[in-house]
């Protein structure tokens, strides 16, 4: 799984954006049919939703904004026809933890 991110300073209080996160899972059409891609998207969102609190707190404490995109490159419908939460969770958690550390030290 691959993660792309962009960390920036939070803008002035007059701006609309607040310190926090924007998250987007991206699944290519080449990886599988619509049902499989939507299942992948739901699983990735579930992992993010359960683990986002530490990243949100890091953003607020350091006054940063993060754009976080996650791309599951090694998964396709042919290689893993039945994807589960346990298949994606370890690599997604690793990405979230790395980005949390980068936000705290940036």
Beta-bridge partners for 22: 67
What range defines the domain where residue 11 resides? Answer: 2-105
Is the full-model pTM beyond 0.85?
no
Q: What residue ranges in the chain does DSSP mark as E strands?
A: 2-9, 20-25, 64-71
| C-alpha to C-alpha distance for 100 and 106, rounded to whole angstroms | 10
Contacts by 14-18, CB closer than 8 A, 24 or more apart? 17/65, 18/65
Segment 38-84, tens digit of pLDDT: 999 999 999 999 988 999 898 888 888 899 899 988 889 999 899 99
Q: Average pLDDT of 26-31?
A: 92
d(CA 89, CA 57): 21
Q: Give the separation between CA 62 and CA 67, rounded to whole angstroms.
A: 15
DSSP letters for 76-89: -TTT-SS--HHHHH
Number of domains the chain contains = 1
pLDDT at 3: 86
Burial of 21 (0-12, 13-18, 19+ CB in 10 A): buried
Q: In CATH, what number is assigned to the domain containing residue 55? A: 3.30.230.10
């Amino acid at each position: 799984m691959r993660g792309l991110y962009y960390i920036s300073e939070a803008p002035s209080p007059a701006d609309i954006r607040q310190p926090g996160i924007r998250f987007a899972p991206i699944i290519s059409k080449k990886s599988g049919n619509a049902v499989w891609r939507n299942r992948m998207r739901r699983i990735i969102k579930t992992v993010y939703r359960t683990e986002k609190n530490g990243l949100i707190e890091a953003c607020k404490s350091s006054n940063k904004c993060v754009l976080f995109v996650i791309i599951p490159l090694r998964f396709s419908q042919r290689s893993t026809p039945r994807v589960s939460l346990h298949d994606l969770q370890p690599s997604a958690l690793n990405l979230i933890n790395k980005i949390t550390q980068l936000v705290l030290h940036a």
